[in-house]
Structure 1
Amino acid sequence: MAHYLYTLLLRSLRMFYTVARIMLPIMIGVRIAAQLGLVEMAGRFIGPVMAWVGLPPEAGIVWATTALAGIYAGIGSMAALGDTLSLNAAQVSILGSMMLLAHNLPMEQAIVRKAGASFWLTALLRLGCALLYAALLAWLLPAAGLLQEPISLSWLYGQASSTQGGWEGWTDWLLGTAGSLLMTWLIILGLLLALSILEKIGVTRLLTRLLLPLLRFSGLEERVAPTTTVGVLLGLSYGGALIIDESRQQNYSPRTRLLALSWLSLCHSLIEDTLLIMALGANFWVVVAGRIALTLLVVGAMARLTLPGSPLYRRYLTSAGS
């Protein structure tokens, strides 16, 4: 037991070191940008898009950072913005959904491209679905009176709200940032413990069995469904690497790779990333059930539009060697 806990602690510290190297420069950059008035300028630029999905302009900074650098970087920018970012449960769920659907695009879509699908097609698919899903939620949740209670993120940004106090507020900001990073490590440690427990009691295997029929229903070939399931549960890097390896051995068609990688692009790391976003206050049904339903609809439509003999199949997939 002691060895298990020691190993878990070491792993959490290694992961924290990795994500802190991402988060801390982002937090410092956003802090400086806020002092120079650049965050306010960027907010005005992104504001119309954010207003369309029911979010304040500052949320655009969080999503843009997430899309370019990953979820931990987005959380870092959220912490740096402090109490200038005021959200209710619906808005946290909407922003969290956008972060889950479109994050770390340069790296992850490079993996997708290596695995055999278009970088730009899958990147635009993620961005488009994030905006459309967020717009649907922005209309549906307030209309139904759901998730309208305010969410406090003070635990995340600590004393970082001192960004409004001028350059002399850096000492307080640094203390708040240290608290934010400590909380990030505790969340990572909790996630690792939760994932280990889920694995040991068989929940991960149960999720795999439940996901396989959904993947087949969306149009995926049965032979690629198990590989795709790994990526859906654990992450695009894992799933993409497996598809790269499997496609060499089983000669997957371009259509099969496109559908599997589109699934992974829209819905991956269903356990770890989702738990992280839910820790911010996002609703389970919005960020998990809704995202799976969206992916089913989108990939199912793509499967039917790219059936062998269809115009899209003849134009884009036949020439790729299917």
Structure 2
Amino acid sequence: MNISTIRPSLYRSLRSAWIVLKLIIPIYIFADVLFYYGWLEKISFLFTPLTAALELPKEAALSIISGMFLNLYAAIAFAAPLGLSPKEWTILAVFLGICHALLVETAIMHRLKISRTYAVLLRFFVGLLAGWLVTFFPENWFGEGVFYNAPTFPSYETFAVMLLSSLQEAVVLALEVVVLVVLIIVFLDFIKSLETVNRYAKRVNTAFSLVTGTILGITYGAGVLISEYENAAMSTKEVWFVGTFLMICHAIIEDTLLFVIFGASAWVIVVLRLIFALLFSLAIVAYLTYRPAQSRRPI
């Protein structure tokens, strides 16, 4: 790969990274504002039916809502003092592993022409179904709890201080996204330029996007996915397959380890997320393939 071939890759990767950044920074700050004013805590009572369905203590409602709107670190910070059993930690991990950071990640999926309604409902109901399934697992499938110092929320003297801190954290995340997306897309284009790989380019596009998102997460993997989508390297069905899979199963290593250190079962979390991701991604492709042509419109 020479300079003339690298230049288009750099342009595409930076353009994709910029799209993701425009979504990450404002929504990241907005989520911090929600927490600063305590708005999430005020509506946590609405989630007590959910905790009951998952057989979690009602106090876990704030952990769930924080995870859904903010991130998994926020969820763990609220759940750590509750003295959850390994089984309860596993249930929480399965649900929130699928249904978390909805503000940011749903916006990213929308860039791929995947509707916000589909993204939110898919992740919520699949997370609920998978988490509810864990309630039927016998207790002896889970080990003893592991005690670990959970992350704590910083306290801010003023709104301006919070805003500055949030902006700094968002910028750091943004820089990580830019660097990683650029490296991955340039590497992917290099792989596709190889003569032996060229005939399998379609498979490379799909597989690479899938692996990137599954390991690194939607925030990072979406940059690659957006690039391939806008470059017409992936069909609509492939985008829906990968998008659906990643909404259910992404950042599988980091997300799982965050809960395993508190005693959650790694194999239950990983196996359930992979199975549900495969089933629902295959189902959406089947739907797109076999529905009547005249009824075909974006979900």
| TM-score normalized with structure 2 length | 0.65
The percentage of counterpart residues that share the same residue type is 24
Q: Specify which of 258, 262, 271 is matched with residue 289 of structure 1.
A: 271
Once residues 151 and 105 of structure 2 are traced to their aligned partners in structure 1, the CA distance between those partners, rounded to angstroms, is 28
Q: 1:248 to 1:64 in 2, by over 3 A?
A: same
The CA RMSD measured in Å over matched residues stands at 3.3
Question: Contact 2:112–2:226 (CA<8 Å) still a contact in 1?
Answer: yes
Residue 286 of structure 1: CA displacement?
1.2
SS in 1 for 2:231: helix
CA–CA distance in structure 1, aligned partners of residues 274 and 95 of structure 2: 13
The alpha-carbon deviation at position 314 of structure 1 amounts to: 4.7
Q: Which amino acid aligns with 1:315?
A: S
CA shift at 1:23, angstroms?
11
Q: Give 2:291's aligned amino acid.
A: S
| Amino acid across the alignment from 2:208 | P
1:204 corresponds to: none
Instruction: Confirm whether residue 97 of structure 1 aligns to residue 98 of structure 2.
Output: no
TM-score of the aligned structures, taking structure 1 as reference length: 0.60
Residue 235 of structure 2, aligned match among 230, 234, 253 = 253
- For the pair 1:228 / 2:210, whether they are aligned, the reply is yes
Report what 2:195 is aligned to.
none
Structure 1 residues 301 and 24: CA distance shift in structure 2, 3 A: closer
Instruction: Please say if residues 23 and 76 of structure 1, whose CA atoms lie closer than 8 Å, have aligned partners that are also in contact.
Output: no
Alpha-carbon distance change, 247 to 153 in structure 1, aligned in 2, over 3 angstroms: same
Q: In the TM superposition, what are the counterparts of 1:51-70 in structure 2 within 5 Å?
A: 51-70=52-71
Match of 1:244 in 2: 226
Structure 2 counterpart SS, 1:140: coil
Shift of 1:153: 4.5
Q: How does 1:42-57 map to 2 (within 5 A)?
A: 42-43=44-45, 45-57=46-58
Amino acid at match of 1:98: F
Q: Deviations over 1:186-235 (max 9, x none)?
A: xxxxxxxxxxxxxxxxxxxxxxxxxxxxxxxxxx9664122221111111
**1:133 match:** 130
Task: Tell me the residue number matched to 1:111.
Answer: 108
Q: Assess, with a 3 A threshold, how the Cα gap between structure 1 residues 315 and 42 changes in structure 2: closer, same or farther.
A: same
Q: CA–CA distance in 2 between the matches of 1:110 and 1:90?
A: 32
Q: Which has the higher contact order (CA 8 A, sep 6+)?
A: 2
CA-CA distance at 1:249 after TM superposition: 1.7
Contact 2:86–2:145 (CA under 8 A) maintained in structure 1: yes
Gaps of 5+ in 1: 1-20, 161-169, 171-219
Deviation at 1:52, TM superposition (A): 1.3
Q: Residue 141 of structure 2 is aligned with which of 146, 159, 162?
A: 146
**Number of the residue aligned with 2:291:** 310
Deviation (angstroms), 1:116: 2.7
1:24 and 1:250 mapped to 2: Cα distance?
36
CA shift digits 1:148-197 (9 cap, x unpaired): x6636563389x9xxxxxxxxx9xxxxxxxxxxxxxxxxxxxxxxxxxxx
Inter-CA distance 128–243: structure 2 relative to 1 (3 Å threshold): same
Change (3 A) 1:157 1:233: closer
Query: Do 2:147 and 2:262's aligned partners in 1 also have CA atoms closer than 8 Å?
Result: yes
| C-alpha distance 132-314 of structure 1, shift in aligned 2 (>3 A) | farther
SS at match of 1:139: coil
Question: Contact 1:23 / 1:72 at 8 angstroms: preserved in 2?
Answer: no
Paired residues of 1:87 and 1:150 also in contact (CA < 8 A): no
Tell me the distance in 2 between the aligned counterparts of 1:150 and 1:24: 34
User: Which 5+ residue runs of structure 2 have no aligned equivalent?
Assistant: 1-28, 156-201
Offset at 1:58? 1.3
Q: CA deviation at 1:251?
A: 4.7
The equivalent of 2:79 in structure 1 is: 78
- 1:115 CA displacement: 2.4
Q: Map of 1:125-204 to 2, 5 A cutoff?
A: 125-142=122-139, 145-147=140-142, 151=145, 153=147, 155-156=149-150
In structure 2, what is the Cα distance between the partners aligned to 1:155 and 1:305? 45
In the TM superposition, residue 105 of structure 1 has moved relative to its aligned partner by 0.4
Q: Is the 8 A contact 1:69 1:103 kept in 2?
A: yes
| Aligned-pair CA distance for 1:291 | 1.0
Report the alpha carbon displacement of residue 75 of structure 1 after superposing the two structures with TM: 2.0
Q: Which amino acid in structure 1 is aligned with residue 48 of structure 2?
A: G
The runs of at least 4 aligned residues of structure 1 exceeding 4 Å deviation read 21-30
Q: Kindly indicate whether the alpha-carbon contact (under 8 Å) linking 1:94 and 1:138 is maintained by their aligned counterparts in 2.
A: yes
Q: Partners in 1 of 2:78 and 2:35 — Cα distance?
A: 5
Pick closer, same or farther for the CA change 1:154–1:253 going to 2, 3 Å.
closer
